[in-house]
Structure 1
Amino acid sequence: MNDKSGATRRTVLTGLTGIAAAASIPLGATAASADVDAVDQPRVYACDEWGARPPDGTPVVVNSRPNKIIVHHTAFPNTTDFSLDYAFRNSRDIQDLHMDDNGWMDSGQHFTNSRGGHVTEGRHGSLSALLRGRTMIQGAHCVGQNSQAIGIENDGSYHLGAPVPQAQWNSLVQFCAFICQQYGVNPQEIYGHKDFNNTLCPGGLWNRLPELRAAVADALG
């Protein structure tokens, strides 16, 4: 299946589980709420910063806000390399897999969270849309949800009980809180891939979703 048919994440994981690259955009240029922001903008590395390939087509802009967040894991080996350089290489590997093996026009997920807690933009245009807080980019991470849910890949394999590194967890909490703030998403609307599709993804992260929702709500005040 391909993007146009609303395909799932990359095929290799299912058993286990015109807008350009967003440049750095000042925080506060636009926001979903007129209230004072409770959550600071985390550092998110745009596609051009990690060396993304150009998309094979123009990402589709959905002219409405997403109503949920969907958490994934990559099912890649649990590396002990927590560096930014590795996070960039991992983002390139995911994009190559999605484009070359799955035949998708770009990375399927909107964002990727490395085991070291480094967040990178996935599908081109996702960061720009998030910072504006009014539209979203159609993804290819979860069948039936690609036009209404922000997909976050968390690097690693958590279906066999491996612990989530604290840096990655902290980053996930902060980033989900920022997404909720920008788009007006209720923290209770944070789900795992397996809530919608037949997959083991996101492994043990799924069991921690109540904890994640509570931590995000707390971060939002």
Structure 2
Amino acid sequence: MGTTRRTLLTGITAAATAAALPLSAANAAVPKPRIYSCAEWGARPPSSAVTVVKNRPNKIIVHHTAFPNVTDFSLAYAFQNSRDIQDLHMDGNGWLDSGQHFTNSRGGYLTEGRHRSLEMLTGGTRMIQGAHCVGQNSQAIGIENDGSYHTGEPVPAAQWESLIAFCAYVCQQYRIPATEIYGHKDFNNTLCPGGIWDRLPELRAAVAARL
């Protein structure tokens, strides 16, 4: 059967409507991973209100914490690590909260970093301003991977798999191409994220495959 003008117009209207909806309202191809909220891991309240940026981020920036490479891969340790990072960022750096948006433990557990980052990610249309990369804090989602990977030690399999799954979900929610995944050293003079930076082509390819 030939395409009628009404059918064509209906299709265009439906496509335009779908494009206007946040991805959380669509049938998501990438499942949402388990992300533990600030309340779940016992975060301190921020010292002042976090800033909501009224646009989507355009990239992901991957970090490592440069903390010791622990062998405790438990959820309890992931929660303690999140508290340690927040204490360092607030008490040592003088920031209002954790600088990164999310943290990925060596055991592959994902936790919310800066307050309200999970809320914004779920909505898919706005982001929280971070403090993880100079010049990029209002346009990039920052993901801390616990550990020191500038020493040549490999990333644990659980952490790597979690990073792939999480980056794919972030890309889906915010409509970020998999090509827009970077390391901290791409923008600032730092060793971060160590050996993870060398694996960014692999990470981008794995994320693209899931999308």
Structures share fold, TM-score greater than 0.5 = yes
Match among 196, 200, 205 for residue 214 of structure 1 = 205
How far does the alpha carbon of each residue in 1:79-129 deviate from its partner, in whole angstroms, 9 at most, with x for none?
Answer: 000000000000000000000000000000000000000000000000000
Quote the residue 2:87 is aligned against: 96
Match among 120, 135, 142 for residue 144 of structure 1 = 135
Quote the residue 1:70 is aligned against: 61
Q: Which has the higher helix share?
A: 2
User: In percent, how many aligned pairs have the same letter?
Assistant: 74
Q: Superposition pairs for residues 1-221 of structure 1, below 5 Å?
A: 31-32=22-23, 35-220=26-211
The answer to whether the Cα contact below 8 Å between 1:68 and 1:189 also exists between their aligned partners in 2 is: yes
Letter in 1 for 2:182: Y
- TM-score (normalizing by structure 2): 0.89
- SS state of the match for residue 55, structure 2? coil
- TM-score (normalizing by structure 1): 0.85
Instruction: Name structure 1 gaps, 5 residues minimum.
Output: 1-29
In structure 2, what is the Cα distance between the partners aligned to 1:59 and 1:153? 19
Letter in 2 for 1:172: L
In structure 2, what is the Cα distance between the partners aligned to 1:94 and 1:189? 26
In structure 1, what is the Cα distance between the partners aligned to 2:78 and 2:24? 31
Instruction: Name structure 2 gaps, 5 residues minimum.
Output: 1-20
In structure 1, what is the Cα distance between the partners aligned to 2:169 and 2:98? 21
- Regions of 4+ moved over 4 Å: none
Quote the residue 1:9 is aligned against: none
Letter in 2 for 1:81: D
Bigger-Rg structure (1/2):
2
In structure 1, what is the Cα distance between the partners aligned to 2:173 and 2:22? 5
- SS state of the match for residue 182, structure 2? strand
Shift in Å at residue 36 of structure 1?
2.7
The answer to whether the Cα contact below 8 Å between 2:69 and 2:147 also exists between their aligned partners in 1 is: yes
